[in-house]
Amino acid sequence: MIDVLLVLNLGIIGYRNHAGKLISFLEKNSECKINCIYHPTKSIDDRFTNDFSKLYDCDAVIIASPNKTHYQYIEKLTKNFNGYIFCEKPPVINNEELEKLEKLTDKWKQKIFFNFMFRYSELSGIIRDRMNSKELGNVIHIDIYGTKGLAFKKEYKNSWRADGKTNLHNILDANTIHYIDLISLYLGKIKHSSYFPSLVSSNGTSFDTSYVVIKYENGATLSIFNSYATPLINELSIIGTNGYITIKDNNLTIKSPRDTFDENGLFTDPPVCFQSNFSIPNDVENSLKKSLDYFISCVKKDKNFDLGLFENSLQTNRLVLKLKDMNNSSFMYK
């Protein structure tokens, strides 16, 4: 076990955008210190290195580089490194790399943590606690909107996210994948799925908008709309047989029961039975911190990750790869 009094020595691959956010969170954590930031060509301060082998002396390495590089770094680390690995989603970008991940030993599978951060969110707890509750009844549909105008920012067009040659499905990989992973934890196996990507902004060559529709084996359906080409929208609805949850304008509301009638005996809007402030962006920020904290705590204790986490990550990755292969068609799971 790693000495609980020691500060963890971390290495990180990547330094801008999301990697920069991770660095800012880790710098505030007294249990760890970033001693090494790897970049193949850049050198900005004394923590930077172009020598990948410098990472091998770390207790843990965080992979927060472009998606297409994830597997190559995992492969290098699993061959030359004995510590823990934190890798941003998606784990890999093609089926060949996914098969190689599946062939890793259980020892390595229990030392690699893929960051599907909604698993540690308050939203996840709400869905878990309210699923099939008296207020909601059986959940039959979930509707999600998560959008912003990133594609119209000046720097977007020349970013790696907008490069269709290497990151065609960037919105699916960066946003939609989190919601698919979260909801599938609670609705179970998928029966049908459709994916409709588009480039709305004309900035760059990758898709900036994604619409995914899923039907689960239990009959429930899920609709996810994500875009970098609209105003900011963060809304979610969970509809059950006896009530429904809405998150909109930073408010969470539960209305129930179904059998609510007006003076003429006609169905009317159910009364509010629960209401609270709830910000999806704030929850995303907090869940990212919780995800990092969980990873750090396990490394400190020299604790293996549950194999189920690894398998769930690959299952989500596998679905996303199938969605990409569909090219606006639908398929049925066998």
Measuring CA to CA, which residue among 73, 86, 99 is closest to residue 317? 99
Residue 162: which residues within 8 A CB-CB, separation 6 or more? 151, 156, 170, 203, 204, 205, 206, 208
What angle (nearest 5°) sits at the alpha carbon of residue 196, between those of residues 161 and 144?
85
Rounded Cα gap, residues 302 and 142, in angstroms: 38
Note whether residue 141 is domain-resident: yes
Phi, psi dihedrals of residue 333, rounded to the nearest 5° = -75, 140
Total domains in the chain come to: 2
98, 128: one domain? no
Note whether residue 133 is domain-resident: yes
Note whether residue 2 is domain-resident: no
What is the residue range of 112's domain? 8-118+289-305
User: In a 3-state reduction of DSSP, which class is residue 72?
Assistant: helix
Note whether residue 155 is domain-resident: yes
Instruction: Say what the pLDDT of residue 177 is.
Output: 95
Phi, psi dihedrals of residue 47, rounded to the nearest 5° = -85, -20
Note whether residue 310 is domain-resident: no
- DSSP single-letter state for residue 306: P
67, 112: one domain? yes
Which regions in the chain score pLDDT beneath 50?
1, 5, 328-334
Note whether residue 1 is domain-resident: no
Instruction: Say what the pLDDT of residue 327 is.
Output: 60
Instruction: Say what the pLDDT of residue 17 is.
Output: 82
34, 106: one domain? yes
What angle (nearest 5°) sits at the alpha carbon of residue 170, between those of residues 169 and 174?
125
96, 139: one domain? no
